[in-house]
Amino acid sequence: MFPRVAAVRADVGLAAALGALQTLALVHTWAWPLQLLCVIWLAARVRSATPRRAALLGAVFGTAWFATSTWWLFISMHRYGGLAAPLAAIAVLLLALALAAFLALALAVFARARRGPPVVDAALFAVAWGAAELARGLVFSGFPWGASGYAQVDGPLAVWAPWIGVYGVGMLAAGSAALLAFCGEAWFAVMLRRGPTDAAPAVRRAARQAVLPALIGGVALWLLPDAIGPIDFTQPTRTLQVTLLQTNVAQDQKFAAEHLPAALAWVAGALTEAGGDLVIAPETAVPLLPAQLEEFDPAYWPALRAHFEGAGRPAALIGVPLGDLAASDYSNSVVGLGGRTPYRYDKVHLVPFGEFIPLGFRWFTNLMNIPLGDFTRGEPNAPSFVTAGERIAPNICYEDLFGEELALRFRHDETAPTVLANVSNIGWFGDTIAVPQHLNMSRMRTLELQRPMLRSTNTGATAIVDHRGQVTAQLRPFTRGVLVGPVQGRAGRTPYAAWVARIGLWPLLLAAWGLLIILAAQPRR
């Protein structure tokens, strides 16, 4: 009994260590091989485990993965929300446990559904992995932060992003890891086989014939696309000269009356001094609702509007809340000035606990001293902001985690955006890994949709990303500054944009879980 307990403890410890280690590849994408090694171990252990043991390993691996990916939520709750440190740490841990439940369940079903042949089981492991990630990204409004496919932004599998998106890339990586684990296991089991029978050479020959093609196919999956190079499904349009603002206002000063005059004056000055074709200010760069801004400085907004309506001026996209606080009808928005028509974009995918309070959790948000509330959702598939012949599609902060929702704007070529623009404020989370993680997510969107992404943020990462996911210009995070540079628009659609815009991801989620459950219900031979 005691050796068995020790083995379980060793597995649990390794699962926690490797789950946490995987996060390194989501921050520093050059470390993508590290993620592959972590999943190789998990796949090998789960394949030989009972469903209960597989669920335990998935829960521990996933909890460590998601806790280390989102630990910065502690800062927003404790430093800025005033929640006691133990309660904030427990909240992060409970969130990670809840997110890991999808992986635990998927691996338990895989352990029951596995068929035996290494190639088949590797494919089933990929399906289980994808089922867990899709469920995490879609169910209960979704929280896909730290999806495994982001580790491949600079890896060989990035070339598959325009075809299958981040979840497909994550499935390919997981399936490849499982294939290496299972085929290697089978190879060594047969090659090390001892016995005097004449059948042994035939068994080893059969093993070579079965395993080698699978390994060669797995290697080709990684190496051939990179050798061929990326395929451009889109065509260049025109080049815009853009200006991106990084306000660098500390979160505990953003709404403080004594700091507002200086912050608003800097934003107005940077906006009006900008040249080129387009200037973008980050999420809530003007942090006051219209009535509050009118009371604070009646001339502020009319002056900005008059400036950008003048001849020869660039157009502007400015992050600002809109609506009426007294009527509980307000939105996190972007206003366009200087375009052909008045423009407003309201955030569609709201952040749970930050911009809407899930049913039954108001008691939790009441524990924190953060201006939380229930924002009004915008309309899906919003039109683009048109300027200088280009269609600019804004998205606000957290929204660029949801590539399938951005793809809804690509249903028709004639209205599809030519440039994406993300305005963000993740100052809530301090100087942490949230900044490079969010940049990598934007980079994945550019790979999926083959559109450049303009990122104007409060504290970083303010950057210009081209349609192949390469950062062409970037400001140093946590500094106040202005980034000026060119961006080339793109027209056309990737295969991912075409199929996701039509069917979405829910059919894939249901198909993946359906297949696993059907196989798990069948007796294994």
Of 344, 330, 348, residue with least CA distance to 398: 348
Q: How many residues does the chain have?
A: 525
Which residues are paired to 239 by β-bridges?
Answer: 488
Q: Which helix (H) or strand (E) holds 457?
A: strand 453-457
401/173 Cα distance (integer angstroms):
19
Structure tokens at 158: 């990035």
Q: Which residue has the tokens 């050479």?
A: 201
Q: Which residue has the tokens 């068994």?
A: 203
Q: Which helix (H) or strand (E) holds 474?
A: strand 471-474
Structure tokens at 178: 């499982």
Starting at the edge strand found earlier in the chain, the sheet holding 329-337 runs 343-346, 329-337, 315-324, 278-281, 235-246, 481-491
355 is catalytic: no
DSSP code for 456: E
Q: Which residue has the tokens 């649990």?
A: 12
404 is catalytic: no
Structure tokens at 284: 């809530």
Candidates 390, 397, 399, 448; catalytic one: 397
How far is the CA of 368 from the CAs of 140, 216, 328, 429, in angstroms? Answer: 23, 55, 20, 15
What Rg value do the Cα atoms of the chain yield, rounded? 25
Of 359, 475, 407, residue with least CA distance to 165: 407
3-state secondary structure of 433: coil
How far is the CA of 419 from the CAs of 260, 387, 403, 409, in angstroms? Answer: 31, 11, 14, 12
146/237 Cα distance (integer angstroms):
33
Candidates 133, 183, 347, 390; catalytic one: 347
Q: Are 487 and 242 in contact (CB under 8 A)?
A: yes
Cβ burial, residue 482 (10 Å; 0-12/13-18/19+):
middle
397 is catalytic: yes
Candidates 133, 283, 399, 405; catalytic one: 283
Dihedral, CA of residue 450, residue 509, residue 411 and residue 329, to nearest 10: -100
Q: Where are the beta strands (DSSP E) in 179-324?
A: 235-246, 278-281, 315-324
Which residues are paired to 456 by β-bridges?
Answer: 423
Which residues are catalytically annotated? Answer: 283, 347, 397
